[in-house]
Amino acid sequence: MTGFNTLLYKELLRFWKVAFQTVAGPVLSALLYLVIFAQALGEHVRVFEGVPYAAFLVPGLVMMSILQNAFANSSSSLIQSKITGNLVFVLVTPISHLEFFGAYVLASVARGLLVGAGVLAVTVWFVELRLAAPLYALAFALLGSALLGVLGLLAGIWAEKFDQIAAFQNFLVLPLTMLSGVFYSIHTLPALWQQVSHANPFFYMIDGFRYGFFGASDVAPAASLLVVAVSFALLSAATLWLLKSGYKLRT
Amino acid sequence: MREVEKRYGALQALAGVSLEVRQGEFFGLLGPNGAGKTTLISIIAGLARASAGGVSVMGADVVADYRRARRSLGVVPQELVFDPFFSVRETLRIQSGYFGIRANDAWIDEVMHHLDLDAKADTNMRSLSGGMKRRVLVAQALVHKPPVIVLDEPTAGVDVELRQELWQFVTRLNRDGHTIVLTTHYLEEAEEHCGRIAMLKAGRIVALDSTKNLLASFAGPHPADLEDVFLRIMQRH
């Protein structure tokens, strides 16, 4: 177990050493979103009955930060190690593909949750929030960050340059989070776009997490949790298979 | 190594290499650039997979029993790679942990001392000179006290002082029973330290004998040095 523990510790230390960039920065961004969107749109956007827009926005921003940072952690760590060549230090050790997977994904979960907690800590002062179903909130935070940690790992395995990770981030993760209902309830969308939103796995994570706070959501939380869990299982299986085969890591 | 082949698409990097390095040997793997030395080392270390054939380290197959094989092996890579997030001591502690070794500070201190790294223990890897980074790479390969040590061109771009210290240290490790496998382009280093030598060309072994025999077989009116031997063997194949 020690090889796994060490790799996890190294991954945690890696982002913690630059916490200003990896934790504080995303917390500030989320706070800016809240201030600007709540100020500019607060009067105009109708979301759940009896829930002010700013309060609606906070859980969405927390989850968005969790997801984006979980992805950023595993993907940037792996691509940096590949490009600088220091991944060899891990590849020559007895660490198995399962341990490798577990360490990278858990470190992503840790960074996601830390940033999420930070965003919650600075935004909670501006709104009145209660936790209607805390276990749901926790389940979505854990499973969502794990899913994005796996996606980051997959991107890191596949990518050969930083550009490709940036493309993954800008053309997949960012649009899917922005269009997942962080800033609006999908019930306010035209029917077609509501349908399209249902094909976006990020929507279920945001919606389910928000249920944890308000006890209200666009989709039943158990159904959302199932979608997220199945996505996690499928993506994990694919990533583990690639790691076992040594795809793009061992020539 | 049994009939090891490696193909990268149309390129045949290794074309059936069979070789046994005995325990406790100081073994040299020589050849021109592109001969397949680093590919062979990568296969031994598990960084690459053989297209055919197999490799065992201390009786453990590098694929089927990779955990045992890798515990027996310390590899000093040719490229000067490092993790910019950590200090020298952190780097070595983390490397120990990867091999499942906790509380390894006594050995880490000893290795750092022999490689003259004590003063740099808490310096970040980014701030080290090339020579110092090379020393850390050697230390990293030794943290788990592997019985087999593979050095892939360890003295490329290294100043005279470090080269001498490095050879003293490696010779001592060999005396203490470690098996050493070395690749180098500095043939006088191979001649001085290696008991046995394999020469590779285009993915095949073209010579395999003790250094003494190789030198004797090409001696004319004057004693040959390893460079003469190397050039003549390469011309012949």
pLDDT in tens, B94-148: 999 999 998 899 999 999 998 889 999 999 999 999 889 999 999 999 999 999 9
Among residues A213, A198, A205, A233, the alpha carbon closest in space to that of A70 is found at A205
Q: Provide mean pLDDT across the span A184-196.
A: 85
Binary contact (A93, B99; C-beta < 8 A): yes
> B114-117: long-range contacts (C-beta < 8 A, 24 or more apart)?
B114/B169, B114/B172, B115/B139, B115/B165, B115/B166, B115/B169, B116/B165, B117/B88
Q: What is the pLDDT of residue A119?
A: 95
What one-character-per-residue DSSP string does chain A give? Answer: -HHHHHHHHHHHHHHHTTHIIIIIHHHHHHHHHHHHHHHHHTTT---STT--HHHHHHHHHHHHHHHHHHHHHHHHHHHHHHHHSTTHHHHTSS--HHHHHHHHHHHHHHHHHHHHHHHHHHHTTTS----S-HHHHHHHHHHHHHHHHHHHHHHHHH-SSHHHHHHHIIIIIHHHHHTTTSSS-GGGS-HHHHHHHHT-HHHHHHHHHHHHHHS--SS-HHHHHHHHHHHHHHHHHHHHHHHHHTTTT--
d(CA A228, CA A201): 7
Residues on chain A touching B75 (C-beta within 8 angstroms): 88, 92
Whats the size of chain A, residue-wise?
A: 251
Q: What is the pLDDT of residue A195?
A: 86
Q: Provide mean pLDDT across the span B193-213.
A: 94
The complex scores an ipTM of 0.92
Binary contact (B47, A5; C-beta < 8 A): no
Residue spans per domain, chain B = 1-72+148-159+170-237, 83-145
Note the pLDDT tens digit of each residue in B47-100: 999 999 999 999 999 999 999 999 999 999 988 999 999 999 999 999 999 999
Task: Say whether residue A5 is in contact with chain B using an 8 A CB cutoff.
Answer: yes
pTM listed for this prediction: 0.93
Q: What is the pLDDT of residue B105?
A: 94
Q: Domain spanning B1-72+148-159+170-237: which superfamily?
A: P-loop containing nucleotide triphosphate hydrolases (3.40.50.300)
With beta carbons less than 8 A apart as the criterion, state whether B72 and B57 touch. yes
Alpha helices by DSSP H, B29-148? 37-45, 66-71, 88-98, 105-114, 130-142
With beta carbons less than 8 A apart as the criterion, state whether B33 and B220 touch. no
Whether B231 shows a pLDDT value over 70: the answer reads yes
- Nearest-neighbour CA in chain A from B40: distance (Å): 12
Whether B174 shows a pLDDT value over 90: the answer reads yes
When pLDDT is cut at 50, 70 and 90, the band that residue A1 belongs to is low
B44: nearest CA in chain A?
A92
Among residues A195, A10, A190, the alpha carbon closest in space to that of B85 is found at A10
Q: What is the pLDDT of residue A129?
A: 87
Note the pLDDT tens digit of each residue in A45-91: 777 777 888 888 999 999 999 999 999 999 999 999 999 999 999 99
B47, B77, B100 ranked by CB distance to A94: nearest: B100
Helix (H, G, I), strand (E, B) or coil at B152: strand
Angle at A24 between CA A21 and CA A25, to 5 degrees: 60
